[in-house]
């Protein structure tokens, strides 16, 4: 029986990391928002690794936080270990990574949703997206309720027709034993979306008490916890260590002997897996000469004795999993609590989306997260926030929020998906960002807080703190440029101690700080003055000064990029009438409908010669229009 049960301005389907951010931002912008999940126990579930952040992913978390999102705040609240990665390299690739308590993380996010004004949680399976003409008008649940809406955001994660594989065994299931969403795929097909199958996987969870940690290498957290959220200056908490061990030739031998029993190699799984997060079977096949692979034993929380065995993701049968795990040093008597598995699911081709994450074919229907072919909590959360903002902008008939590649990693992520597409689960990496020195994780708030404030997500109190921080940084840089120190005996002795070149005349503190071996703490000692600035402010001052030349060069490159982004292409341009455009380019441009010359230049199959032809055509249109 069908009946209309209610109305929302915006409906979010799914309450994973994309759905949570989408629902929260829409509600915080003042719109009545309904968030639907098959099970409320799956809200923000850390179904794979119980960690947030990592290389480039930490950048995404910081950017979401700067825009007013929740993932960074939640990670800070529930972390059991924090590490800054890539500290031996330059600041462009420094990234925070937190081990979180998976149960506390879920609980904290569920409470946040429950207490958010303008947001209503609903448990139920959405089986149909309802439309009227070419616009969305609501959803229908498996139990018959119809909820109408002005915009809908689909953030279904890996649940669409999801199937679990463990060796020869397979069953229809969502992650961690959750129910799959078996009917919504048909609704998407009826709306004209072509679906494809992607795959991801996870390792076994094992009992902490069955591990001999004395045979492993302790991996502690950082001595100082640096928070994800810019709202937190410090976090004081006892951290839980992780442990490192390795596979060996015996491990590899067992895998090779049983590779035919892996559903990936037996032909059971047809979906495409993640290249940058391979299973142990993939590693052994692709790197046959490698003697060992790193295994990190990562606690799933202080509320459980489950250990996540990072590096041993597998879909081999249970008996093989038990045998190979017990060949690893420290795991000789390991007790497997939950077996590793592969999960296959439906997703769309993101090329059918605008850069706003709205469907090109169904007005008011937005997509976010793994349904778009991406992988990872952080990638999903970033898309969810942008989809939530743009669903609001769609209702308000206001210009959307589109972050370009020179503004944010989120911009790189969404541009890659909607312009280049992906043939495998997409993972964010620092190498994908052309302007990564500008897009550092330490300056995400300087880049994006004002955007969040103007969108109505950042409140006045936080914005005032941001402005104060901005003033403090600018004021201290100005002061450092104006203060000079003379080559006194004390100064020269200190420079000798730091193995820094002596000065012959006065030098500004600003120029002195440019030296690689000189830190801001050294400036304080030379001045015999303790600064009142906080750690975040000092970090941004120091990076900005030390990398000034490189940053200015990249800013000039970014400005050239923006010029191409500002060369807009009419939405209704008929590419078949563009004389001299190759057939392949014409078809690709017509399919993707880029909004600018910059976006058009990044489309696979569109050459620089095609862009020249397009520019000439647009110039002729402009001249004819002005006559």
pLDDT digits 0-9 by tens, 297-340: 999 999 999 999 999 999 999 999 999 999 999 999 999 999 99
**What is the structure's pLDDT at 146?**
97
Q: Is the pLDDT of residue 144 over 70?
A: yes
Nearest-angstrom CA–CA distance, 325 and 465: 50
**What is the structure's pLDDT at 2?**
81
CA proximity to 298, closest of 210, 205, 223, 377: 205
H or E element that contains 111: helix 102-115
Nearest-angstrom CA–CA distance, 432 and 482: 39
Residue 341 contacts residue 207 (beta carbons within 8 Å) = no
Q: Provide the CATH number for the domain formed by 480-553 in this structure.
A: 1.10.10.1800
| 567-626 topology per CATH | DNA polymerase; domain 1 (1.10.150)
Its CATH class, for the domain covering 3-200+345-454, is alpha beta
Residue 158 contacts residue 375 (beta carbons within 8 Å) = no
* Geometric angle at alpha carbon 183, from 181 and 185, rounded to 5°: 90
Please give the DSSP secondary-structure letter assigned to residue 241.
P
Nearest-angstrom CA–CA distance, 550 and 540: 15
Confidence of residue 514 (pLDDT cuts 50, 70, 90): very high
> How many whole angstroms from its chain centre is CA 531?
35
Please give the DSSP secondary-structure letter assigned to residue 274.
P
Confidence of residue 266 (pLDDT cuts 50, 70, 90): confident
- Treating both helix axes as pointing N-terminal to C-terminal, what angle do 17-28 and 377-396 enclose, rounded to 10 degrees? 30
Per cent of the chain over pLDDT 70 is: 99
Nearest-angstrom CA–CA distance, 50 and 285: 27
Nearest-angstrom CA–CA distance, 334 and 338: 12
CA proximity to 299, closest of 432, 209, 175, 430: 209
What is the distance in angstroms between the CA of the first residue and the CA of the last residue of the chain?
62
Cβ-based neighbours of 220, under 8 Å, separated by 6 or more: 81, 239, 241
Q: Provide the CATH number for the domain formed by 205-344 in this structure.
A: 2.40.30.260
Residue 25 contacts residue 457 (beta carbons within 8 Å) = yes
SS3 call for 330? coil
* Geometric angle at alpha carbon 221, from 217 and 223, rounded to 5°: 125
456 phi/psi in degrees, rounded to 5 = 85, 20
**What is the structure's pLDDT at 18?**
98
CA proximity to 401, closest of 436, 351, 452: 452
* Domain extents in the chain: 3-200+345-454, 205-344, 480-553, 567-626
Residue 625 contacts residue 442 (beta carbons within 8 Å) = no
Nearest-angstrom CA–CA distance, 537 and 479: 14
For the segment 194-221, what is each residue's pLDDT rounded down to a tens digit?
999 999 999 999 999 999 999 999 999 9
**What is the structure's pLDDT at 1?**
67
**What is the structure's pLDDT at 627?**
37
Nearest-angstrom CA–CA distance, 4 and 618: 49
CA atoms within 13 A on the CB side of 165: 25
Residue 36 contacts residue 172 (beta carbons within 8 Å) = no
Per cent of the chain over pLDDT 90 is: 93
H or E element that contains 181: none
| DSSP states along 14-68 | --SHHHHHHHHHHHHTT--EEEEES-GGGTT---S-SEEE-TTHHHHHHHHHHTT
Mean pLDDT for 434-446 is 96
Nearest-angstrom CA–CA distance, 308 and 501: 49
Residue 307 contacts residue 206 (beta carbons within 8 Å) = yes
Ramachandran quadrant class, 376 (left: phi over 0; alpha: psi -120 to 50; beta: rest): left
Mean pLDDT for 74-98 is 95
CA distances for 225 relative to 26, 98, 220, 535, angstroms: 31, 10, 12, 12
| DSSP states along 193-205 | PPEEEEEEEE--E
Nearest-angstrom CA–CA distance, 608 and 405: 19
Nearest-angstrom CA–CA distance, 570 and 577: 13
Nearest-angstrom CA–CA distance, 85 and 54: 7
Whether 567-626 and 205-344 are alike in CATH topology: the answer is: no
**What is the structure's pLDDT at 474?**
97
For the segment 10-62, what is each residue's pLDDT rounded down to a tens digit?
999 999 999 999 999 999 999 999 999 999 999 999 999 999 999 999 999 99
**What is the structure's pLDDT at 486?**
95
Nearest-angstrom CA–CA distance, 97 and 86: 11
Mean pLDDT, the chain, as a whole number?
Answer: 95
Nearest-angstrom CA–CA distance, 62 and 409: 10
* Polymer length in residues for the chain: 627
Nearest-angstrom CA–CA distance, 151 and 357: 12
Q: Is the pLDDT of residue 263 over 90?
A: no
CA distances for 416 relative to 65, 353, 477, 611, angstroms: 21, 12, 36, 18
CA atoms within 13 A on the CB side of 290: 14
**What is the structure's pLDDT at 601?**
93
**What is the structure's pLDDT at 10?**
98
Q: For the whole prediction, is pTM greater than 0.85?
A: yes
Confidence of residue 272 (pLDDT cuts 50, 70, 90): confident
Nearest-angstrom CA–CA distance, 89 and 430: 12
Please give the DSSP secondary-structure letter assigned to residue 571.
T
H or E element that contains 359: none
Nearest-angstrom CA–CA distance, 6 and 238: 46
């Amino acid at each position: 029986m069908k009946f209309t049960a209610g109305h929302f301005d915006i409906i979010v389907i799914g309450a994973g990391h994309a759905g949570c951010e989408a629902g929260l931002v829409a509600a915080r912008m003042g719109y009545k928002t309904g968030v639907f999940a098959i099970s409320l126990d799956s809200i923000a579930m850390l179904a794979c690794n119980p960690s947030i952040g990592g290389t480039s992913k930490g950048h995404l978390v910081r950017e979401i936080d700067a825009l007013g999102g929740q993932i960074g705040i939640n990670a800070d609240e529930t972390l059991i270990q924090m590490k800054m990665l890539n500290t031996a390299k330059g600041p462009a690739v420094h990234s925070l990574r937190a081990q979180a308590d998976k149960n506390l993380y879920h609980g904290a996010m569920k409470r946040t949703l429950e207490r958010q004004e303008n947001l209503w949680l609903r448990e139920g399976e959405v089986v149909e997206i309802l439309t009227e003409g070419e616009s969305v008008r609501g959803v229908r649940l498996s139990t018959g309720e119809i909820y109408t809406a002005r915009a809908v955001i689909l953030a279904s994660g890996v649940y669409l027709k999801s199937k679990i594989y463990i060796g020869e065994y397979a069953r229809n299931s969502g992650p961690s034993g959750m129910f799959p969403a078996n009917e919504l795929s048909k609704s998407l097909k009826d709306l004209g979306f072509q679906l494809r199958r992607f795959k991801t996987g996870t390792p076994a969870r094992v009992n902490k008490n069955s591990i001999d940690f004395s045979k492993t290498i302790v991996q502690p957290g950082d001595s100082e916890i640096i928070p994800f959220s810019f709202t937190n200056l410090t976090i004081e908490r006892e951290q839980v260590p992780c442990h490192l061990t390795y596979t060996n030739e015996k491990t590899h031998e067992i895998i090779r002997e049983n590779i035919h029993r892996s559903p990936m190699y037996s032909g059971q799984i047809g979906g495409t897996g993640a290249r940058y997060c391979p299973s142990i079977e993939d590693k052994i096949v692709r790197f046959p000469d490698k003697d060992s692979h790193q295994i990190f034993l990562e606690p799933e929380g202080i509320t459980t004795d489950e250990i996540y065995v990072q590096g041993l993701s597998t879909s081999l049968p249970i008996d093989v999993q038990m045998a190979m795990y017990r060949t690893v040093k420290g795991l000789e008597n390991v007790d497997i609590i939950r077996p590793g598995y592969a999960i296959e699911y439906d997703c769309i081709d993101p090329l059918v989306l605008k850069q706003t994450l709205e469907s090109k074919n169904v007005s008011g229907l937005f997509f976010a997260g793994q349904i778009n072919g991406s992988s990872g909590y952080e990638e999903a959360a970033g898309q969810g926030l942008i989809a939530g903002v743009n669903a609001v902008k769609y209702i308000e008939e206001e210009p959307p929020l589109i972050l370009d590649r020179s503004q944010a990693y989120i911009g790189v992520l969404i541009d890659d998906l909607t312009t280049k597409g992906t043939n495998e689960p997409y993972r964010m990496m620092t190498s994908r960002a052309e302007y990564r020195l500008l897009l550092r994780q330490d300056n995400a708030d300087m880049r994006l807080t004002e955007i969040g404030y103007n969108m109505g997500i950042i409140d006045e109190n936080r914005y005032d703190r941001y402005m104060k921080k901005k003033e403090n940084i600018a004021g201290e840089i100005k002061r450092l440029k104006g203060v000079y120190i003379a080559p006194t005996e004390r100064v020269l002795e200190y420079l000798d101690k730091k193995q820094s070149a002596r000065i012959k005349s006065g030098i500004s503190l600003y120029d002195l700080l440019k030296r690689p071996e000189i830190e801001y703490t050294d400036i304080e000692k030379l001045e015999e003055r303790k600064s009142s600035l906080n750690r975040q402010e000092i970090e941004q001052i120091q990076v900005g000064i030390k990398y000034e030349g490189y940053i200015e060069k990249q800013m000039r490159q970014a400005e050239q990029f923006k010029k191409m982004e500002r060369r807009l292409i009419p939405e209704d341009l008929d590419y078949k009438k563009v004389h001299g455009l190759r057939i392949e380019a014409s078809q690709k441009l017509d399919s993707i409908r880029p909004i600018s010359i910059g976006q058009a230049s990044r489309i696979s199959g569109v050459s620089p010669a095609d862009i020249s032809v397009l520019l000439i055509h647009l110039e002729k249109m402009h001249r004819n229009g002005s006559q």
